A and B are shown apart, each in its own frame.
Chain A
Amino acid sequence: MPPSEAAVAPEAEPLVVRRPLPHDSAPRHVTGAATYIDDIREPAGLVHLAPGYAPIARGRITALDLDAVRSAPGVVDVITAADLPGPNDISPKLIGDDPAITDGPVRFYGQVAFIVVATTRDAARRAAKRARFTTVAEPPVIDVDQASDHVLPDYSFVRGNAQTAIDRAGRRLEGSFRIGGQEHFYLEGQIAMAVPGEAGEMLVYSSTQHPSEVQHVVAHALNLPSSAVTVEIRRMGGGFGGKESQATQWAVLAAIAAWKTGRPAKFRLDRDDDMIMTGKRHDFRCDYSVGIDGEGVLSGVDVVFSARCGHSEDLSLGVVDRTMFHADNSYFYPECRVTARRLRTNTVSNTAFRGFGGPQGMLFAERMMDHIAYTLGRDPLDVRKANFYREGRDRTPFGQQVTDNILAELIGDLETRSDYRARREAIAAFNAGSRILKRGLALTPVKFGISFTLMPLNQAGALVHLYRDGSIHLNHGGTEMGQGLFTKVAMVVAEEFGVSADAVRITATSTDKVPNTSPTAASSGTDLNAMAAVAACGAIKDRLYDFIAEKWKVGRDKVAFREGQVFIGNQSMSLGALANEAYLNRVHLSAAGHYKTPVISWNRDKAEGRPFFYFAYGAACSEVLVDTMTGEMKVERVDVLHDVGKSLNPAIDIGQIEGGFVQGMGWLTTEELVWDKEGRLRTHAPSTYKIPAASDIPENFKVELYESAGNREATIWRSKAVGEPPLMLGISVFCAIVNAIASLRPGIMPALDAPATPEAIMRAVRATTAGEG
């Protein structure tokens, strides 16, 4: 079913979409009435789960004595690998490299070895501590520098011969730096509740971005057909990628406990366990060499990304591919080789995190621009501009042509709005007169490809019912985690039927309403699900148009759905009256819609195709103040200009941009993950892992939407995806810190690793002052 003309026609005059409506759940969030899984009134007989794990990162459990666990007060059952009814596998692709419960081998510190089932959560947690392990430990492989085993083969994008191009170039630069990981710290931790039904059925409430995958893996683990398992989620208290593949394990274990005890079972991870047992953003070592001319224009780029993937594959294929897809950010690499190594370590399996590897690739590109600029003594913004994609220099390393070159205009606009040049001079003057405190300024771009690079995921389904009273029920495969997806899709449906947004009933995502869904990820939630919803609305409206033509002899061009009314020729009636009339005449008022992204293709083996439907753009200009005696840093001003095409809801989009920026800033400044030599995560609580707080947000923080003529591709109401791209605006803070440090000694590229904690800043300050780039 093709989407309606109006929804993709930029000239249509909408009544509901484009308005800054509040989040649909806002009235319930502010009264505490919005229900998360832990708030669902507990069913009678509910049991609670707690995990147990061996105190080693690598080796074997040779004996596990659980007698004291079983005899602890309140314990109902204890589950080990031997008790599992089906395959012991929670890996997303069911490739058998990630057990739900280990049956002996230990591959990271925190790997689940058994599960306690008890009448209260407290009892389960206390009992879990009574286990006695006998283990044989081996020295764990923690860092990429120690690692030699790979979770996947190396993979490269190659164009021309990067090394000859670099050798031929006037100047060659080399560098190596570290890019840190990131803990999701969704405020609502991982949670699932499984309720057994009749005939082996299982209903699972799971805080997941991917209900279909949870359904699939639960069915597999219980030896059930998928049709016996229903997974439902109304909302998550944050996801950020951390609940794309890694919500599955807890849902599977809750379902197994429910299956084994015959009672409803809830598994809510304690915050520390959540941080220890679930994967994070991939961290990298990045090694590069580039060839440039005297102006800093690139002729060749050769970069190797070494990713810490953890103990299993999880989503490392797609995540690290996206690092490669964004290793160019916005710059043309005439000849290049972009390589990724995916290393296996004895750490938790790293996973999706907003940007899905893209931010790490992009940080490299910006780091390289800075390296060129400080080496040549040019303004970094000028070096960036000199390397932008433009006509004739518009092929990405993976072959896709960049056709909508709006970045130069957007950057120019922000340069003016942020008063970049004048501030650059003022900062130079300030730094010349200030020995310890140094200011830095950076304006960096974002170009982010929209579409799943795993092609089958670029589809979505929706289900719409029109009832006899004119009320509308909406369901689709996307999940709500705060990004405002449900609001946006409801607005689009309201627009189709000419009713107000609150006349559309938004319902929980559920695998029994819309099957075979994709994860809500890759920023694609609205692009895909709103289009599917429009298709469903279109099917119902087509039947109504036919009915109207038959009954009143009025053609569809004389019918309009507006303001709760249906205008038919010169008459009108309420939507409810029409729906009832249609029902009485046996018209089907329910429809399932489906959408698949057009145009895209990607052949990974050949590394060719057009993986992205379009690019979303943005830019940020950040100013920081760095104390070069202590490494302390303060973000003083931020200006953002971001491209959301023609916004579906500017209030929600601005919130996404602000939030994305803050999360990106946290990733590159305060958020540091530390594992010790034994493989234990030392930063497993909010006291040691510092995400940005209100006081870290610059007072002078201005976010504006780029005035766009609309997405050139036929997306929903010509909007652009907004979930992930703004995270990478935070790179401007990192580059501003580099800029402040670079003022200490001209000609030297500060060797700053991410995150730029005070310690990292001090290391870079000392190296720069000593003349070591």
Chain B
Amino acid sequence: MADLPEPLPVQSAAPEAAEASIIGLTLNGVTRVVPLDDPRVTLLDLLRERLGLSGAKKGCDRGQCGACTVLLDGRRVNACLVLAVTLDGAAVETIEGLGGGGALHPLQAAFVEHDALQCGFCTPGQIMSALGLLAEEGNDPDPERIRAGMSGNLCRCGAHPAIVAAIRAVIGAGDRSEMPE
């Protein structure tokens, strides 16, 4: 994976709330030590504003859209609901860590193949959520389970049929027969 930039110098707008601490976490397989000046910083802001990883998106900032989905110790979470200070010793995977050596992860490739995106804003969250879902459900290709399991990830463009098809394709259970040649 690409070299991560060093954490940006942290400015605190609320010195009275500041309580410097240092957390160590594994981010996309790389150990990182991150100083935190503010206990209120969320994992999403840590990633986007301090670690330069903008793949996880901020759609609502209150745990209701799924655009910020990442894996925390292998389970999908809304990064906007997780406080960074709680992450000492945790393993976090983001969309930037997927694939490797220039190749796409099969889920990423399936999303491209199946046109499972329009504006793309929900896409990183959809893919991370699908990754978590596959880990939870194993190889269960039941489309009803996929639809239910992906319902926390909103897509306003209505790409859901293609998203479900892409996930099913990765499980190896289905394809979008209606796709034109």
Question: Which residues of A are interface residues toward B (Cβ below 8 A)?
Answer: 20, 22-23, 25-36, 38-39, 41, 73-74, 118-120, 122-123, 126, 184-189, 235-238, 240, 270-271, 481-484, 650-652, 654-656, 658-663, 685-687, 691-695, 697, 699, 701-705
Contacts and interface: CB of A to CB of B under 8 A. Distances in A.
B61 A188 contact: no
A685 B60 contact: yes
Contacts of B117: 23, 26, 29-30, 482
B143 A685 contact: no
A660 B95 CA distance: 28
Interface residues of B, number: 66
Contacts of B55: 31-33
24 contacts: A26-B112, A30-B95, A31-B99, A32-B55, A186-B156, A187-B121, A187-B154, A187-B155, A237-B120, A240-B156, A271-B62, A650-B180, A651-B115, A651-B179, A654-B115, A654-B180, A655-B115, A685-B62, A685-B64, A686-B60, A686-B65, A693-B151, A694-B153, A704-B178
A687 B120 CA distance: 22
A697 B11 contact: no
B120 A25 contact: yes
B160 interface: yes
A692 B150 CA distance: 12
Contact of A694 (B95, B113, B121, B160): B160
A238 B117 CA distance: 11
Contacts of B124: 29-30, 32
B14 A271 contact: no
A36 B147 contact: no
A649 to B, nearest CB: 10
A697 B144 CA distance: 10
B13 A660 contact: no
A662 B162 CA distance: 12
A694 B164 contact: yes
B101 interface: no
B118 A659 contact: yes
A236 B129 CA distance: 22
A188 B121 contact: yes
Interface of B: 11, 13-16, 40, 48, 52-62, 64-65, 67, 94-96, 98-99, 104, 108-109, 111-113, 115, 117-124, 127, 143-144, 146-148, 150-164, 178-181
Which of B98, B121, B159, B162 counts the most A-chain CB atoms under 10 A from its CB?
A: B121
A39 B44 CA distance: 13
Nearest to B52: A41
Contacts of A31: 55, 95-96, 98-99, 104, 108
Given A29-B117, A187-B57, A694 B163 contact: yes
A126 B17 CA distance: 13
> DSSP class of B's interface residues: helix, strand, loop or mixed?
loop
Contact of A34 (B115, B120, B143): B120
B145 to A, nearest CB: 10
Given A22-B113, A658-B159, A663-B156, A32 B14 contact: no
B119 A701 contact: no
A697 B160 contact: yes
Contact of B180 (A20, A236, A483): A20
Contacts of A237: 57, 59, 119-121
A34 to B, nearest CB: 5
Contacts of B153: 694
Report which residue of B48, B60, B67, B127 has the largest number of chain A beta carbons within 10 angstroms of its beta carbon: B60
B13 A120 contact: yes
B54 to A, nearest CB: 4
B147 A659 contact: no
Given A32-B96, A118-B13, A697 B147 contact: yes
Nearest to A28: B120
Q: Which 8 A-B pairs have the closest CB atoms?
A: A32-B55, A482-B119, A237-B121, A74-B13, A659-B158, A123-B13, A662-B158, A29-B120
Contacts of A656: 118
B115 A652 contact: yes
Given A188-B57, A654-B180, A694-B150, A126 B156 contact: no
B10 to A, nearest CB: 10
Given A26-B112, A482-B157, A32 B13 contact: no
Q: Chain B CB within 10 Å — which of A25, A189, A658 has the most?
A: A658
Contacts of A118: 13
A22 B159 CA distance: 13
Given A38-B54, A187-B156, A694-B164, A73 B13 contact: yes
